[in-house]
Structures are given as structure tokens and as C-alpha cells.
């Protein structure tokens, strides 16, 4: 089973995700902000990162973190699953879909909108960890 | 704590900036310069024609005057040579992107050359005997429009100097007095009377200065208004960004708790906290459904308030093909109606149907109309969607054969929260915001929406947009 890092400022979301993932045999480590993220990821070496976009420090902290991770040679290959209640696509449009995923705009492997259906989450994670 | 505007925006709103400091932007100055050189070619041509006309003795006799063609020719050559140089300089400075001051100097030099040419022409055409002095005025007016008030004031004084120069030189007998008329019609006041000469020059100076004052005053007021408009525009842009951020934050703050509650509901429902008794399972499912309804209502309210203050400029309309958007929304509507046996049909003879629109908003609009049609259709019913183009317009029809709308409520269905009694009875869970959102999106696209309905027989919504040619 895999080691999964969850980054979300909402403790309730962390708790429910942890419950679902641990129940499926995964090991979960958590963070509530993106401070010192690169070093933490290098130290803990997760197999997958579940990342919220709107964090208290910045409404686009998740975006920035995803781009930073993507550019890093050491951890850039770790798959990132974006998880958010609401995101801003333009001045008036909210909400992403997986069609928005691209190297420039959303450099992640998958996107899930909160609230998370356990089966959807597990299936996405399975797909990211064991593609093909 | 941060203020209403970000720090770097303060400069944009600085009320104390000197209105003359900025003047015209360099690009505008470059365009003016090009306009100047182009116009000068016409003036050169006219001077050449003038010299030809003056060289014809028969015409001179006809008008009882003698014009020395050499002055016209000299002015034409002066203008042609100087203009060739200016065109070359203009091409060179376009590449190296000159500063505003450099462009000002360049235009100022061009004006001085024109003044010299006009001065020579004034002398050659007998000074006060012809109305050629009037041609100084357009230059003074243009300088008042192009330059700062102090610069245009200096240019005006150069104009006065060059306009008066022939008269002064004639009076001082440094040049001979020229006249275009024969002795009987000659106007000889300038060379003979110092007071009249001075008065004449003062009159010209006063006329030029009054002209400069009026034009530069109006120009400065216009410049001030332009800056005020620019500041207001920047302020609105910043407020729009602020509003957008506040909306995003508010949406997040309102949706996040529901997302957490719903996540707990899922973990309970799916047995991650142990197996629930049947009764508890049912309660958990009901909690989840109410959460969804509330979350949808909150999203719709925020979306609607955002749309109400939106303009076409901040939405960003682009070429959008309805034939790309509609199939995707049809798929979703078919999924929603599947368990009630509702069929969603689509008919169009178009391969592509582009309009100027915001893709996201257009999707929301079509999705809401289709959901509405499915939700108020009877079980096993049919929803017919069609797209047609006629007379430069695109018409989208969404027809259902459902419960219909009472005639007295048809004018109110686009109001937020309004729901007719039969709609509430048939579908109690709707937020009552869907059609209000549709109307706002149609308004944002300068479109039109109409409904025709028969109670108990169904409704047809028709949305009209301008077709993109």
C-alpha cells in the first residue's frame, strides 16, 4: 500500500480522508499549509500528494505548490491530486474540471471537487498509483 | 491589515499628478508626427501648383496682380526637402522608440520649419495683402493640442515672430517691400507708417495669443477629464478584481463547511465508522441530500450576484460554438432524466454555430434550461432541443411536455426565488434560482429569452443570440 500526503487546512477534511485511506490500507501523513513543503516532501517521500488549493496563506497556495513540486527534479514525478471546494478559473467562473489540467495551468495529475465520494477518491488514487 | 487597494495601485490613483506632465503618450505623438509629414506633402504640392499658376502671365493680368512664382517655388522646395528629412527621422525614431520629450522636440522643429516657410510665403505674397497669415493659426491650435501649455506658449511666440518678421524687415528697409498688386491697388501702409505697422503686428500677436489661450485651456480641461476617466477606470478595474476575490473567498467559506459535513456523511453512509442500522442509514442519506440542496442554493445566490454586476468587458466574450457546448450538456441532461425514462432529443441542421459568448456562462445557461425541462417533464416524457439560424440570429429552443406554467406566472418565472405553486408541488427541491441565472446570462450576451407555455401541456423556452458572421 502507498504513503499519501494530504495537504488541507480543514481538519475535518483531513480526518475523513484519513479515515477512508487508512481503511483501505494506505499510510497517511498530513500538513495544514504549504510552508516548507518541498523539504517536507523530500524528507517524507510520499507516493502521492493530495493537495487543497485555497489555503489560509493564499487563495492560490495549492496552485503555487503544485507548480513548485512539478518543477522540482527530485519530487516532480510524484503524482498530485488536487482537491478543492471551489476554485477560480476566471473573474467570474468558478470550478475546474479535469479538462483544465495542463502543464501550464494546472500541473497536476487529477482533480476532485469536495465533498469527496470515497469510491471516487479511491478509484482516482488507484489509477494514479498504478496507471495502466 | 491590507487596505482596499493593493499598494502598487496607489500610484494609479494619485490625484496630485500634474495634468501637463503626462501630455500625449509617445505613440500618439508618433502618429501625430506621421500625420504632420503626410499633410506637409499636400502643402508642398499646393505650393508647386501655386508657383505654376503664378508663372502664367495671362492669369496674373486677369486678376490685376503680379505674384512672383519664385516664392511659391522656394517654399515648395523648402517644405519638400525638410519633409524628406522628417520622414527619414520618423522612420529611424520609430525603431528606437523615442521618449515623449524627444517626440515633442521633433514636432516643435517641424512647426518652426513650417513657420519659416509661411513667413517666406507671407513676404512673397505681399504681407498684409493676402490672408496667408491665417495659416499660422492651425499650427498654433495644433501646438496647443499636442504640447504642454508652456511649450505651446513658446511655439505661439515663435509663430508671432515669424508672422511679423516680413513686416518688421520691410519697415526697417532691410528687405524691399513687395506687393502683388499694381500701383492703383497697392496696399502700402506697412512700409510707410510705424504706428500702423506696430498696431498690425500687435493685432496679429493678440489674435494668435487669444487663439492659443482658448485652445490650450480647452485642451487642458479635456486632458484633465481624460485622466479622471483613466483613474475611474483603474479604480473600477481594481474594485472588480476585489469583488471577484471576495466572491471567491465567500463561496469557499460557505461551501467548505458543507463539503466537510458531506464528507462525514459519506464516511458514515459507506460504513467507514462501522455499519449503521437501517434507520440511521436513511437519516444520513437525508442529511446528505439537504446538504446538497443548501450548497446548490448558496452557489446559485453567489453566482447570480456576481452576474448582476458583470459586464461584457469583464466576462471576456470569445467565439464560442454552440454545437460544441450543447452535446455535452445534453449528455448531462440525459443522465438526470434517465431514471425517470425521460428522453432528450436534439435537432439541428448546423455543423457549427459560432456566437460571441463566455463559454462557461453559456454552459451554465444551457445546463439550467435543460435541467429545468427535465425536472418539470412527466415521467417517460420527451424534451426537444433544437438550434436554428435565421436572419443573422441564432435561436435555441428547449421544449418540454411537462406540467407547464400558469399564464399569470409566466412573467415572474425569471425572478429569483419565484416558483409557481404547481412547480413547488411537482419538484419541491428546486432552488428557484435557475431561470434567474439564465436571464442574467442572456442579458450579459445581449440576447433575448422568451417563454410560451400551456398549463398541463408543457413549456418552450427560446433564447436568441446574434450570430457571429
Same domain assignment for residues B172 and B280: no
Q: How many domains does chain A have?
A: 1
CATH of the domain at A80: 3.40.50.2300
Contacts B266 to A, Cβ<8 Å? 16, 115-118
Indicate the range of B7-21, B42-56, B120-134, B247-261 predicted with least confidence: B7-21
Q: Where are the alpha helices (DSSP H) in B316-456?
A: 322-338, 359-375, 421-426, 434-444
Any domain includes B3: no
| pLDDT confidence of residue B468 | 83
Q: Residue B189 contacts by C-beta under 8 Å, 6 or more apart in sequence? A: B128, B196, B197, B200
| pLDDT confidence of residue A114 | 84
Same domain assignment for residues B58 and B162: yes
**Whole-number Å distance between alpha carbons of B128 and B167:** 8
Q: Is B393 helix (H, G, I), strand (E, B) or coil?
A: strand
What is the helix, strand, coil percentage profile of chain A, to 5? 35, 25, 40
A77 interface with B at CB cutoff 8 Å:
no
A85 interface with B at CB cutoff 8 Å:
yes
- Per the model's pLDDT, the better-predicted residue between A87 and B233 turns out to be B233
Neighbours of B366 (CB within 10 A): 24
Same domain assignment for residues B110 and B152: yes
CATH of the domain at B387: 3.30.565.10
Contacts B274 to A, Cβ<8 Å? none
User: Please, what is the angle between helix B136-146 and helix B100-124, to 10°?
Assistant: 170
With an 8 Å Cβ cutoff, are B272 and A88 in contact? Answer: no
Q: How many domains does chain B have?
A: 3
Looking at B237, B266, B288, the residue that finishes a domain is B237
In which domain, by residue range, is B232 found?
A: 9-237
Highest mean pLDDT among A105-109, B307-311, B388-392: B388-392
- What confidence tens digit (pLDDT) does each residue in B366-384 have? 999 999 999 999 999 999 9
Same domain assignment for residues B271 and B392: no
Same domain assignment for residues B323 and B393: yes
| pLDDT confidence of residue B327 | 93
**Whole-number Å distance between alpha carbons of B468 and B105:** 46
Same domain assignment for residues B167 and B274: no
B393-400 vs B458-466, strand pairing mode: antiparallel
| pLDDT confidence of residue B321 | 92
Contacts B290 to A, Cβ<8 Å? none
Give me the residues paired with residue B183 across strands.
Answer: none
For B115, half-sphere exposure in the C-beta direction (CA atoms, 13 angstrom radius) is 21
- What confidence tens digit (pLDDT) does each residue in A62-106 have? 888 888 898 898 998 899 998 887 654 444 444 455 555 555 556
Nearest to B267 among A20, A59, A88 (CB): A20
Same domain assignment for residues B253 and B150: no
**Whole-number Å distance between alpha carbons of A59 and A73:** 26
The mean pLDDT value of chain B amounts to: 83
CA distance to A132, B51, B163, per residue, from B54 (Å) = 92, 5, 22
Q: How many interchain CB pairs under 8 A, A with B?
A: 83
Q: Residue B447 contacts by C-beta under 8 Å, 6 or more apart in sequence? A: B463, B464, B465, B466
| pLDDT confidence of residue B425 | 85
- Per the model's pLDDT, the better-predicted residue between B316 and B76 turns out to be B76
Same domain assignment for residues B274 and B401: no
CA nearest B227: which of B29, B32, B22, B28? B22
| pLDDT confidence of residue A91 | 40
| pLDDT confidence of residue A30 | 96
- What confidence tens digit (pLDDT) does each residue in A40-58 have? 999 999 999 999 988 877 7
**Whole-number Å distance between alpha carbons of B408 and B272:** 51
Same domain assignment for residues B38 and B163: yes
With an 8 Å Cβ cutoff, are B252 and A85 in contact? Answer: yes
- Per the model's pLDDT, the better-predicted residue between B279 and B240 turns out to be B279
In which domain, by residue range, is A31 found?
A: 3-129
Any domain includes B112: yes
Instruction: Place A2 in a pLDDT band, splitting at 50, 70 and 90.
Output: very high
Any domain includes B365: yes
Any domain includes B1: no
CA nearest B402: which of B438, B379, B376, B422? B376
Same domain assignment for residues B405 and B268: no
With an 8 Å Cβ cutoff, are B307 and A92 in contact? Answer: yes
Q: Is the pLDDT of residue B115 over 80?
A: yes
The shortest C-alpha distance from A112 to chain B (Å) reads 12
Same domain assignment for residues B358 and B281: no
| pLDDT confidence of residue A89 | 44
Same domain assignment for residues B94 and B117: yes
Q: Is B187 helix (H, G, I), strand (E, B) or coil?
A: coil
| pLDDT confidence of residue A13 | 93
A115 interface with B at CB cutoff 8 Å:
yes
With an 8 Å Cβ cutoff, are B263 and A90 in contact? Answer: no
Looking at B217, B237, B257, the residue that finishes a domain is B237
Neighbours of B136 (CB within 10 A): 24
- What confidence tens digit (pLDDT) does each residue in B276-296 have? 999 999 999 999 888 888 888
Amino acid at each position: 500500500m502507498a504513503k499519501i500526503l494530504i495537504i488541507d487546512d480543514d481538519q475535518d477534511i483531513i480526518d475523513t480522508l484519513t479515515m477512508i485511506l487508512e481503511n483501505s490500507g494506505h499510510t497517511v501523513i498530513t500538513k495544514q499549509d504549504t510552508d516548507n513543503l518541498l523539504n517536507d516532501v523530500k524528507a517524507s517521500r510520499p507516493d502521492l500528494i493530495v493537495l487543497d488549493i485555497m489555503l489560509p496563506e493564499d487563495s492560490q497556495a495549492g496552485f503555487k505548490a503544485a507548480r513548485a513540486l512539478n518543477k522540482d527534479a527530485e519530487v516532480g514525478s510524484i503524482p498530485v491530486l488536487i482537491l478543492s471546494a471551489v476554485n477560480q478559473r476566471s473573474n467570474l467562473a468558478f470550478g475546474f474540471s479535469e479538462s483544465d489540467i495542463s502543464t501550464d495551468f494546472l500541473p497536476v495529475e487529477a482533480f476532485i471537487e469536495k465533498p469527496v465520494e470515497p469510491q471516487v477518491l479511491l478509484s482516482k488514487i488507484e489509477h494514479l498509483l498504478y496507471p495502466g | 491589515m491590507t487596505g482596499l487597494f493593493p499598494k502598487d495601485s496607489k500610484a494609479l490613483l494619485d490625484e496630485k499628478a500634474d495634468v501637463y506632465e503626462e501630455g500625449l503618450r509617445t505613440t500618439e505623438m508618433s502618429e501625430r508626427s506621421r500625420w504632420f509629414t503626410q499633410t506637409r506633402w499636400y502643402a508642398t504640392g499646393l505650393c508647386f501648383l501655386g508657383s505654376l499658376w503664378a508663372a502664367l502671365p495671362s492669369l496674373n493680368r486677369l486678376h490685376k496682380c503680379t505674384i512672383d512664382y519664385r516664392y511659391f517655388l522656394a517654399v515648395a522646395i523648402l517644405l519638400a526637402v525638410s519633409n524628406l528629412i522628417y520622414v527619414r527621422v520618423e522612420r529611424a525614431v520609430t525603431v528606437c522608440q523615442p521618449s515623449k520629450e524627444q517626440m515633442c522636440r521633433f514636432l516643435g522643429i517641424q512647426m518652426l520649419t513650417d513657420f519659416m516657410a509661411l513667413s517666406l510665403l507671407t513676404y512673397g505674397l505681399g504681407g498684409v495683402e493676402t490672408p496667408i497669415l491665417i495659416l499660422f493659426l492651425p499650427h498654433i491650435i495644433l501646438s496647443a493640442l499636442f504640447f504642454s501649455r508652456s511649450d505651446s506658449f513658446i511655439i505661439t511666440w515663435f509663430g508671432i515672430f515669424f508672422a511679423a518678421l516680413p513686416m518688421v524687415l520691410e519697415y526697417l528697409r532691410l528687405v524691399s517691400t513687395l506687393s502683388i498688386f499694381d500701383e492703383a491697388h497697392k496696399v502700402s501702409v506697412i512700409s510707410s507708417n510705424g504706428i500702423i505697422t506696430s498696431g498690425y503686428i500687435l493685432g496679429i500677436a493678440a489674435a494668435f495669443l487669444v487663439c492659443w489661450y482658448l485652445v490650450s485651456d480647452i485642451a487642458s480641461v479635456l486632458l484633465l477629464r481624460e485622466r479622471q476617466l483613466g483613474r475611474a477606470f483603474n479604480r473600477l478595474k481594481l474594485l472588480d478584481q476585489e469583488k471577484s476575490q471576495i466572491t471567491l473567498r465567500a463561496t469557499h467559506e460557505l461551501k467548505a463547511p458543507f463539503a466537510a459535513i458531506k464528507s462525514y456523511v459519506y464516511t458514515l453512509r459507506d460504513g467507514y465508522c462501522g455499519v449503521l442500522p437501517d434507520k440511521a442509514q436513511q437519516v444520513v442519506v437525508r442529511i446528505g441530500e439537504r446538504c446538497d440542496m443548501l450548497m446548490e442554493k448558496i452557489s446559485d445566490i453567489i453566482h447570480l450576484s456576481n452576474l448582476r454586476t458583470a459586464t461584457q468587458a469583464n466576462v471576456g466574450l470569445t467565439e464560442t460554438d454552440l454545437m460544441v457546448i450543447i452535446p455535452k450538456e445534453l449528455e448531462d441532461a440525459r443522465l438526470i432524466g434517465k431514471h425517470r425514462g425521460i428522453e432528450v432529443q436534439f435537432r439541428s441542421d448546423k455543423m457549427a454555430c459560432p456566437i460571441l459568448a463566455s463559454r462557461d456562462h453559456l454552459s451554465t445557461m444551457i445546463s439550467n434550461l435543460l435541467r429545468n425541462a427535465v425536472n418539470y417533464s412527466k415521467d417517460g416524457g420527451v424534451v426537444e432541443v433544437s438550434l436554428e439560424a435565421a436572419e443573422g440570429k441564432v435561436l435555441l429552443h428547449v421544449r418540454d411536455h411537462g406540467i407547464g406554467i400558469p399564464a399569470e406566472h409566466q412573467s415572474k418565472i425569471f425572478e429569483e426565488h419565484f416558483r409557481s405553486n404547481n412547480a413547488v408541488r411537482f419538484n419541491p427541491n428546486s432552488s428557484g434560482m435557475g431561470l434567474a441565472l439564465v436571464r442574467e446570462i442572456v442579458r450579459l450576451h445581449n440576447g433575448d429569452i422568451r417563454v410560451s407555455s400551456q398549463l398541463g401541456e408543457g413549456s418552450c423556452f427560446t433564447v436568441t443570440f446574434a450570430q457571429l458572421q
